[in-house]
Amino acid sequence: MSTQTMQNSSESIMHLAETVGAHNYHPLPVVISKAEGVWVWDPEGRKYMDFLSAYSAVNQGHRHPKIIQALKDQADRVTLTSRAFHNDRMGDFLKKLSDYTGFDMVLPMNTGAEAVETAIKMARMWGSKVKGVPNGKQEIITVAENFHGRTTTIISFSTDPEAKDHYGPYTPGFVTIPYDDPAALEAAINENTVAFLFEPIQGEAGVYVPSEGYLKKTYDICKKHNVLYIADEVQTGFCRTGKKFAVDHEGIRPDAMCLGKALGGGVFPVSAVVANHDVLGVFTPGTHGSTFGGNPLGAAVALAALEVLEDENLAERSHELGEYLRGELRKIQQPKIKQVRGKGLLNAVVFEDDFQAWDVCVALKEKGLLAKQTHGNIIRFAPPLVISKDEVDHALAVIKSVFEAIA
């Protein structure tokens, strides 16, 4: 083996990353050097099926030709202007996203966490300027086991010790209630409550799907008390759950949505908050911003990403193949499996509480399928939405062989 080959081997690449990089992740022992559709390859040429989709950022599949072409074409024209000037791509993107979501206004950002931070600022400003809550008294209600990002403010209302511990002092102004408990929401609301921030399906908590009717009940409670209903659809949005957005399963129209991940088509970080003018219109020049938010390169990519979702009917595909995938997973004979749950192509297999799924994920990797555990005992299965029925069957054969071999 040549020196150059050794330097580019999976082993040497992983060693370099672990030596020089901070140890804030514990990735599976695999290196991805090429990708297309639902498939990825390592430097040695081994082929794997991606069943994580970069936490739902690759809904349109890896390197979708239309999205890649939009990236290349725009890179040859202009990539960044900042919001100090207009650019000729942002307007088209904002109009497309407004039409796609049905909201009047869009505020573009870059990452999902930035979208959530924007929604928090929006809710607080709305509470002060519109609802009349004294500034500094605004409260936002969140739910246990949430995951909205990693910023200092966001982890202040996390209940995950790994995300929160040792990062104090914590940002005040948040009240945490149990998930899937409308009565707890009603009891927590007071005169200073400005918003209820939640995930329609909790992804990082293990694809926790709330009881049917939960969204409608909590929506009605917020409307009764003049509280903003803010859905974090960063992971559940853009056809992942079999609808455009997870709130669509109960016909709910939130006051605002936080969007990201698949909005960038798997090639560029693009996020946004969408709402109507009476809510998002509280921002005025200078009150919030982002140097890269709405940049022409990201706008061109996001516009193509939205068109792919529509042109290829990915919501319908996600629904149909998700129903099939869950049905087949439930047939697997493995007594340690306690539940298979999900919507669309956002799914999880829940093992016994004390089960550690890391070795199972490694075994899946050895057989050519990449998935990752969460909370130790839960494995999430979320392939790109462009996956075919034959590819789902291939994945099921791998999963069945590994699961039935668990001692």
**pLDDT per position as a tens digit, 19-41:** 999 999 999 999 999 999 999 99
Name 59's Cβ contacts closer than 8 Å, sequence gap at least 6: 53, 238, 239, 240, 261, 262, 266, 309, 314, 384, 385
CATH number of 65-311: 3.40.640.10
* Cβ atoms 280, 122 nearer than 8 A: yes
Q: Are 241 and 348 in contact (CB under 8 A)?
A: no
The answer to whether the 3-60+313-404 and 65-311 domains have the same CATH topology is: no
Which residue of the set 96, 243, 244, 261 is catalytic?
A: 261
**What is the rounded CA–CA span in Å between residue 232 and residue 16?**
35
Helix (H, G, I), strand (E, B), or coil: what is residue 400? helix
Say whether 197 sits in a helix, a strand or coil.
Answer: strand
Global pTM exceeds 0.85: yes
Q: Catalytic: 389?
A: no
| Alpha helices (runs of H) in 291-357, residue ranges in sequence order | 296-311, 314-329
- Give the span between the Cα atoms of 216 and 361, in whole angstroms: 36
pLDDT tens track for 69-89 = 999 999 999 999 999 999 999
pLDDT tens by residue, 131-166: 999 999 999 999 999 999 999 999 999 999 999 999
pLDDT tens figures, 275-325: 999 999 999 999 999 999 999 999 999 999 999 999 999 999 999 999 999
Question: Measuring CA to CA, which residue among 381, 112, 388 is closest to residue 264?
Answer: 112
And the tokens for 252? Answer: 């709910």
Our measurement of the distance from residue 191's CA atom to the centroid of its chain's CA atoms, rounded to an integer in Å, reads 32
Strand order through the sheet with 378-381: 337-343, 346-351, 378-381, 372-374
Which pLDDT score, from 0 to 100, does residue 213 have? 98
φ/ψ of residue 234, rounded to 5: -60, -45
Return d(Cα 58, Cα 142) in angstroms, integer: 27
Q: Which of 93, 147, 283, 403 is catalytic?
A: 147
Rg (CA), the chain: 21
Q: Does pLDDT of 3 surpass 70?
A: no
pLDDT of residue 407: 87
Q: Where are the domains of the chain?
A: 3-60+313-404, 65-311
Residue 4 confidence (pLDDT) above 80: no
Position 5 scores a pLDDT of: 52
328-365 pLDDT, tens per residue? 999 999 999 999 999 999 999 999 999 999 999 999 99
**Residue 6 binned pLDDT confidence (cut-offs 50, 70, 90):** low
- What DSSP string describes 77-146? T-----TTS--TTHHHHHHHHHHHHT-SEEEEESSHHHHHHHHHHHHHHHIIIII-PPTT--EEEEETT-
Q: State how far the Cα of 122 lies from the Cα of 340, in Å rounded to an integer.
A: 37
Residue 220 a catalytic site member:
no
DSSP letter (8 states) at residue 202: B
Cα–Cα dist 215/198, whole Å: 10
Q: Which of 50, 181, 232, 255 is catalytic?
A: 232
Per-residue pLDDT of 252-271, as tens digits, reads 999 999 999 999 999 999 99
Q: Do 205 and 147 meet the contact criterion of CB atoms below 8 Å apart? A: yes
Known catalytic residue at 165 = no
Looking at residue 338, what is its pLDDT? 97
User: Among all chains, which residue has been given the structure tokens 């936002």?
Assistant: 140
CB 44 within 8 A of CB 32: no
The pLDDT of residue 75: 98
Q: Tell me the mean pLDDT in the region 211-236.
A: 98
Neighbouring C-beta atoms of residue 191, cutoff 10 Å = 11
Per-residue model confidence (pLDDT) at position 1: 46
3-60+313-404 adopts what CATH topology?
Aspartate Aminotransferase, domain 1 (3.90.1150)
d(CA 336, CA 398): 18
- pLDDT band with cut points at 50, 70 and 90 for residue 210: very high
Q: Taking residues 371-389, report their average pLDDT.
A: 97
